[in-house]
């Protein structure tokens, strides 16, 4: 029997099979080292896109000179190499950037790589629906963490206050008190009192929320492949998100949505206002998003892709 391990910070699945035994690796430094902000290979290894090869010893020495030697990060690389080093193993990636980072760190081999975009969406539950009548609504569905771009969302709402189209900004989600990146209760209370955003708290019927909205927004700093955006695509909603790993992989820029720089509230406000003012463009993006979801994100296809990997390994 095979077991799976999901490494949440990089959005990948590792599957290993050897001599009838299965192995699941779930060593995550964020669980081992309290207070560390979570394991991310980008923190300790910055690939050179001009090169197409595994790093040399000189590369590693350069990395140590640039970043300063850090035993914890070096240990993390070593553990990943051990965990993923079995010759009969596969690593499923949700976005190309994570694959590139692990490849350039010398952790994986090309023959191990399987690309599956996201965790899938139930197309029967998340249906394409016509836009509602009334003023445009921009909605962000996320945990209320700073690195999800919540502050930028609120700042963009502030910059758009009083717009002629009456654009509404709706924030769906709740703080995560145990997470150092969480929005504080004081911040949330301030935003509600300002009246710039409508804070709906944690919700369960996300499909109904997208049916009620016109534009899906996620100004995150980095993702594996955000489920909120593929659910929005399935609901035929245009997307505005950031040009960062994971987020850019969830849309087709200029076809299903718009990309903006991370941490740039002004650019975010401009892009959302552009879609709020152009209903034809918005609906065209939404229709293309539904086609993308049917082609790439259908949960049945995603499940089958994982089963195909298991079957290939156990053959």
The sign of the dihedral angle between the CA atoms of 124, 128, 131, 136 is positive
The pLDDT value recorded for residue 139 is 98
* Domain identity same for 105 and 169: no
On whether residue 126 sits in a domain, the answer given is: no
Residue 204 domain-assigned? Answer: yes
Question: Same domain, yes or no, for 113 and 159?
Answer: no
Indicate whether 112 and 149 sit together in one domain.
no
Which pLDDT score, from 0 to 100, does residue 258 have? 98
pLDDT, mean of residues 98-122: 90
Tens of pLDDT, residue by residue over 37-57, are 333 444 434 444 444 455 555
Interval 85-92 mean pLDDT:
86
Q: Judge if 146 and 217 occupy the same domain.
A: yes
Same domain, 156 and 170: yes
> Of the given ranges (13-27, 166-180, 259-273), which has the lowest mean pLDDT?
13-27
Residue 47 maps to a domain: yes
pTM (predicted TM-score): 0.78
Same domain, 293 and 304: no
Under 8 Å between Cβ of 80 and 112: no
| CATH number reported for the structural domain that contains residue 293 in this entry | 3.40.50.2000
Pairwise CA distance, residues 215 & 157, whole Å: 13
Q: What's the whole-number mean pLDDT along residues 303-311?
A: 93
Q: What is the pLDDT of residue 103?
A: 87
Kindly report the average pLDDT of the chain as a whole number. Answer: 83
Same domain for 143 and 279? yes
The answer on 307 and 286 residing in a single domain is no
More confident site: 30 or 239: 239
Radius of gyration of the chain (CA): 21
Supply the pLDDT for residue 30. Answer: 31
| Residue 206: predicted pLDDT | 97
pLDDT of residue 65: 53
Q: Which residue has the higher pLDDT, 69 or 313?
A: 313
Average pLDDT over residues 93-102: 89
Give the rounded percent of residues in the chain with a pLDDT score beyond 90: 64
- Percent of the chain at pLDDT > 70 equals 78
Give yes or no: residues 12 and 158 share one domain: no
Tell me whether residue 65 is in a domain. Answer: yes
Q: Using one digit for the tens of pLDDT, what is the confidence trace for 130-154? A: 999 999 999 999 999 999 999 999 9
Tokens at residue 140, please? 């962000």
Q: What is the pLDDT of residue 105?
A: 83
Between 76 and 310, the more confident residue is 310
* Surface-to-core class of residue 35, CB atoms within 10 Å of its CB (0-12 exposed, 13-18 middle, 19+ buried): exposed
Q: Can you give the pLDDT at residue 89?
A: 87
Q: Decide if pLDDT at 23 tops 90.
A: no
Find out whether 257 and 239 touch, Cβ atoms under 8 Å: yes
Q: Quick one: 55 and 17 in the same domain?
A: yes
The pLDDT, as a whole number, for residue 84 is 85
Domain that holds residue 43: 5-119+299-314
Is 88 in the same domain as 151? no
Same domain? 145 vs 258: yes
In total, how many domains does the chain have? 2
Higher pLDDT, 74 or 272: 272
Q: Which residues contact 301 (CB under 8 A, 6 or more apart)?
A: 120
Domain-embedded: residue 125: no
Tens-digit pLDDT profile for residues 215-244:
999 999 999 999 999 999 999 999 999 999
Stretch 170-192: mean pLDDT: 94
Asked whether residue 190 is assigned to any structural domain, the reply reads yes
Please state, in angstroms and rounded to a whole number, the distance separating the CA atoms of residues 116 and 90.
12
Length of the chain: 315
Residue 93 has pLDDT above 50, yes or no: yes
Question: Residue 26's pLDDT is what?
Answer: 33
What is the reported pLDDT for 104? 84
Q: Does residue 33 register a pLDDT over 60?
A: no
Q: Give residue 79's pLDDT.
A: 86
């Amino acid at each position: 029997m095979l077991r799976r391990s999901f490494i949440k910070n990089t959005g990948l699945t590792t599957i290993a099979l050897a001599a009838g035994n299965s192995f699941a690796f779930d060593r995550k430094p964020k669980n081992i080292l309290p207070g560390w902000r979570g394991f991310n290979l980008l923190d300790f290894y910055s690939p050179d896109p001009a090169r197409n090869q595994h790093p040399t010893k000189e590369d590693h020495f350069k990395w140590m000179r640039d970043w300063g030697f850090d035993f914890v990060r070096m240990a993390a690389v070593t553990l990943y190499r051990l965990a993923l080093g079995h010759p009969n193993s596969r690593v499923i990636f949700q976005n190309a950037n994570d694959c590139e980072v692990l490849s350039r760190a010398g952790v994986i081999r090309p023959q191990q790589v399987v690309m599956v975009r996201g965790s899938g969406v139930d197309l029967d539950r998340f249906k394409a629906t016509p836009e509602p009548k009334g003023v445009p609504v921009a909605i962000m569905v996320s945990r209320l963490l700073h690195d999800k771009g919540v502050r930028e969302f609120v700042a963009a709402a502030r910059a758009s206050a009083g717009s002629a189209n009456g654009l509404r900004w709706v924030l769906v989600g709740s703080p995560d008190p145990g997470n150092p990146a969480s929005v504080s209760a004081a911040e949330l209370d301030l935003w509600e009192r300002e009246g710039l955003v409508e804070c709906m708290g944690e919700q369960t019927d996300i499909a109904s929320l997208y049916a009620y909205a016109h534009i899906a927004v996620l100004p995150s700093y980095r993702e594996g492949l955000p489920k909120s955006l593929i659910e929005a695509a399935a609901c035929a909603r245009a997307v505005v998100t950031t040009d960062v790993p994971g987020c850019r992989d969830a849309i087709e820029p200029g076809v299903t949505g718009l990309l903006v720089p991370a941490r740039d509230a002004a650019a975010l406000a401009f892009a959302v206002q552009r879609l709020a003012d152009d209903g034809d463009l918005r609906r065209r993006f939404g229709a293309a998003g539904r086609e993308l979801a049917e082609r790439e994100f259908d949960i049945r296809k995603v499940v089958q892709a994982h089963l195909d990997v298991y079957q290939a390994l156990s053959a």
